Copies of this chain bind each other. A is one copy, B any other.
Amino acid sequence: MGIQLTILGCHSATPRTNAHPTAQYLKINERHILIDCGEGTQVLLRQHKVPFAKIKHIFISHLHGDHFFGLVGLISTFGLLDRRTELHIYGPKGIKEIITLQLKLSKSWTSFPLLFHELNSTESQIIFEDKKISVTTIPLDHRVYTNGFLFQEKEGQRKLNMENIIHEPEIEICDYHNLKNGKDFTKQDGTVLENDDLTLPPKTAHSYAFCSDTAYKPDIVPIIKGASLLYHESTFLEDKKNLTERTKHSTAKEAGSVAKQAEVHKLILGHYSSRYKDLNQFRLEALTEFENVELAESGKVFII
């Protein structure tokens, strides 16, 4: 169990020497995930020593270049490295055509199964689920079709409370499985031992909500309610609030407001416009709405 989020790039629009476009590496409950993939992401993965061959799922929020222009290069590199493990790409309809056209014209078919899961629903939906995690879309409000993603750990099994079990000789090892799954134990004399007395609660399941790019959209609050960690874009400060309508981006204050309404544990800001030199202004502005705010920066790791 646990979340490890590595920020690779967190700036908007054009890649510059020290301002990389959006990409994040997420390790959650033993699953290795890449979220967005701006130009240069594969170099950042190497720089930050991410074990990127382990990435099996890539989620692309939308088809603006600063969120996906690095994807085809990463896929090609996986091919050059003779990857064999399957790779799943989740993103807006059209992403398959973009990637396969380029692979076709470069005669660079991959050595591994490359599986696309194209999205076009405007309703929140579960798009991936296994024993360890689930991934749910967070429909956002941007100039093109855009989803955020909620990554959730599945709740683990209950843990055996051996201090109590040891006093019940009728309980054998073969009963542990049922106990971990929350079942009570019935003794031969008919006495029922309640599960709560024989087990301890499972480890807390954590969740991470990624929301970029979007205008202020409070109707996502129910989807991300109580998330352990929320990344919410803050392209602007309130001084440029007049630009948010046309560009469909948020201010740091609005990001803070969403975090407050959703009662998340921590807010991470990012997707800063290049017009701002002092990024700490973003944090100060969001702090007026919500108390636990950190700034995304390339190479920063958040661990829960």
Binding site for B on A (CB under 8 A): 13-17, 39-40, 42-43, 46-47, 63-65, 69-70, 72-73, 76-77, 80-81, 92, 94, 97-98, 101-102, 105-108, 143-144
Query: Hey, which chain B residues are within 8 Å of A16, CB to CB?
Result: 43, 46
Whether B107 contacts A98 by the Cβ 8 Å rule is no
- From B42, B43, B73, B105, give the contact of A63 (CB < 8 A): B105
Query: Hey, which chain B residues are within 8 Å of A14, CB to CB?
Result: 42, 76-77, 80-81
Q: How far, in Å, is A147 (CB) from chain B's closest CB?
A: 15
Query: Hey, which chain B residues are within 8 Å of A77, CB to CB?
Result: 13-14
Q: Which of A69, A70, A81, A108 has the most CB of B within 10 A?
A: A69
Q: Offer 12 A-B interface pairs, CB within 8 angstroms, sorted by A.
A: A13-B80, A15-B42, A15-B73, A17-B47, A63-B102, A63-B105, A65-B72, A65-B76, A65-B102, A69-B102, A98-B102, A105-B144
Q: How far, in Å, is A271 (CB) from chain B's closest CB?
A: 14
Query: Hey, which chain B residues are within 8 Å of A102, CB to CB?
Result: 63, 65, 69, 98
Query: Hey, which chain B residues are within 8 Å of A15, CB to CB?
Result: 40, 42-43, 73
